[in-house]
Amino acid sequence: MKSLTEGEEGKLILYFTMPMLLGNVFQQLYSIVDSIVVGNYLGKAALAAVGASYPIIFALISLVVGITMGTTIVIAQFFGAKQYDKVKLAVDTMYIFLFFASVLLTVIGLLLSKWIFRVTRLPEEVVPMATTFMNTYLLGLVFFFGYNGTSSALRGIGDSKTPLYFLIYATLMNLCLVFLFVAVFHWGIAGAAWATILSQSSAFFIAIWYLNKKECLLQFSLKNMRFDRDIFLKSLRIGLPSGIQQTFVSMGMLFLYGIVNSYGTNVSAAYSVAGRIDSFALLPAMNFSMALSTFTGQNLGANKPERVARGLRKTVVIAGIIAVIVTLLVIFTGHYMMGWFTKDPDVIRIGWEYLVIVSSFYLVFTLMFLYTGVMRGAGDTLIPMFISIFSLWIIRIPMAYLLSGWMGEKGIWWSIPAGWLFGTLIAFWYYKTGKWKNKVIVRYPSVR
């Protein structure tokens, strides 16, 4: 446990962010390692299949992930207000919700997977492999939710280091298993999915063992687990807008994938690989945003709003410098990174064009995420939801459709930063109004 309500703001946020960032780097390595092994051993059609599966999986789980984010903020505010009994009750409520949600989503995904791939115009030769990968992956969804829920609870009480250790273990295990199952045992694309399931499930069980041995505030016990309706409704109030936002974003991604897939397997594979690199490059911005959410939640819970403003200013400087460095790195080495996944020259060329265009606007993306991170930490998740939905559905998707008719696939790439620019302007304006400060649901009774 770590309180973020005392000490130098910039240093606290940086130290809190780094373990989360390293953890998410390792988490991204799951899909990156899968793509590298699949692309090199099974070919570009299999590579496109893996790439097409992840947006659909994300679309299925996005609402639940958003609600879990709401629970993390509730935990942070209870912890900042020193209501420790409510912290444990919030964690129990989260676990019960995640279990039933995972069962429901697994059934839905298994029933609809092949239909969704055809609706998104995935090339027909890729559909069978994509269906196999996704259906296998969904069998481990309960462990995915369990592990990520545990990590969220730990971050809510200020512990961002422990989830990192579990994730390092799981990533190394996945690295070994995916190579063993695909390259040695020749299990095909299903082998990559089984490697991920086994890695995530083992990380979850190790995390539960840790909670019961070391973390009395978050101990996991099926026998004593309780569901609190009021806490769930609070989590829902905060997390549902984020979940709706994630759902609309994921649906938008599927719509964009339909436009991309219409250009054939080369463009689909290039988009898949470039998207992996892009997601990796955007991790610093997303993790600083999550750190700001916890920092904001704890400090508003402790009645210290002045620390939030100082923390944001210092984080903008740190994360902005990192964004510029990452942009330069991607522009100058993106061509070589594409070559890790495939040797096809057309796929490499198309993917590099994507990276040059999109990476030039990483600083804009970073600013958007930092401002919305503060809003979420305060419990004001409705405005970030509207920002994401409008920037995607009103700006990005129409521009992708229109520009692709004029510029080909490059038009799709240019629509991405256009959406970011719109979202950043709106987020900055709303932050300056200060209305987000009034959304906090838990406050420490005395002002210090």
Tokens at residue 74, please? Answer: 């509730």
Distance CA 230, CA 323 (A): 40
Mean pLDDT of 410-427: 93
For 22-36, how does the pLDDT look when each residue is reduced to its tens digit (9 = 90+)? 777 777 776 777 778
108/214: higher pLDDT: 108
Q: How confident is the model at residue 1 (pLDDT cuts 50, 70, 90)?
A: low
CA distance 74 to 55: 28
* Interacting residues of 422 by C-beta distance below 8 A, sequence separation 6+: 390, 391, 394, 395
pLDDT at 100: 95
**pLDDT surpassing 50 at residue 446:** no
Q: How far apart are CA 142 and CA 150, in angstroms?
A: 12
What does the pLDDT average to over 119-136? 87
> Which whole number is the average pLDDT over 308-315?
90
Q: Work out the average pLDDT over 329-340.
A: 90
d(CA 181, CA 334): 29
Query: 144, 297, 129: which is closest to 207 by C-alpha?
Result: 144
Q: Give, in order, the Cα–Cα distances in Å from 434 to each of 308, 371, 384, 438.
A: 12, 11, 14, 8
- pLDDT at position 3 is 64
Poorest-pLDDT segment among 35-39, 245-249, 274-278, 371-375: 245-249
Write the CA distances from 223 to 95, 214, 419, 424, integer angstroms. Answer: 13, 19, 48, 46
Cβ atoms within 10 Å, residue 119: 12
What's the first-to-final CA gap in the chain, in angstroms? 21
Confidence band, pLDDT 50/70/90 cuts, at residue 370: very high
Q: Find out whether 387 and 371 touch, Cβ atoms under 8 Å.
A: no
Asked if residue 359 has pLDDT above 90, the reply is yes
> What is the DSSP-derived secondary structure letter of residue 227?
-
Identify which of 412, 125, 400, 97 has the alpha carbon closest to the alpha carbon of residue 231. Answer: 97
Q: How far apart are CA 102 and CA 327, in angstroms?
A: 37
Question: For position 442, what pLDDT does the model report?
Answer: 53
Residue written as token pair 């129990």: 92
* pLDDT score, position 447: 41
Q: Look up residue 150 and give its amino acid.
A: T
The C-alpha angle 427, 22, 88, rounded to 5 degrees, equals 75
The rounded distance, in Å, linking the Cα atoms of 196 and 177 is 8
pLDDT in tens, 51-98: 788 778 888 888 888 888 788 878 877 887 778 888 889 889 999 999
For residues 199 and 173, the answer to whether their CB atoms sit within 8 Å is: yes
Across 105-109, 164-168, 243-247, 253-257, the highest mean pLDDT is recorded for 105-109
| Among 186, 180, 150, residue whose Cα is nearest residue 166 | 150
Q: Is 446 left (phi over 0), alpha (psi -120 to 50) or beta?
A: beta
The answer on pLDDT for 269 being more than 90 is no
| Nearest alpha-carbon partner for 248 in 51, 66, 94, 371 | 66
Separation CA 184–CA 181 (nearest Å): 6
- Using the predicted structure, report yes or no on whether residue 286 has a pLDDT greater than 80: yes
- The full DSSP string for 294-359 is HHHHHHHHTT-HHHHHHHHHHHHHHHHHHHHHHHHHHHHHHHHHHHHH---HHHHHHHHHHHHHHH
Q: State mean pLDDT over 330-342.
A: 88
Are 28 and 279 in contact, with CB atoms under 8 Å apart?
yes
Q: Over the chain, what is the mean pLDDT?
A: 85
Residue listed under structure tokens 């210090």: 448
Closest CA to 199 of 79, 33, 312, 332: 33
Contacts of 27 (CB under 8 A, 6+ apart): 167, 171
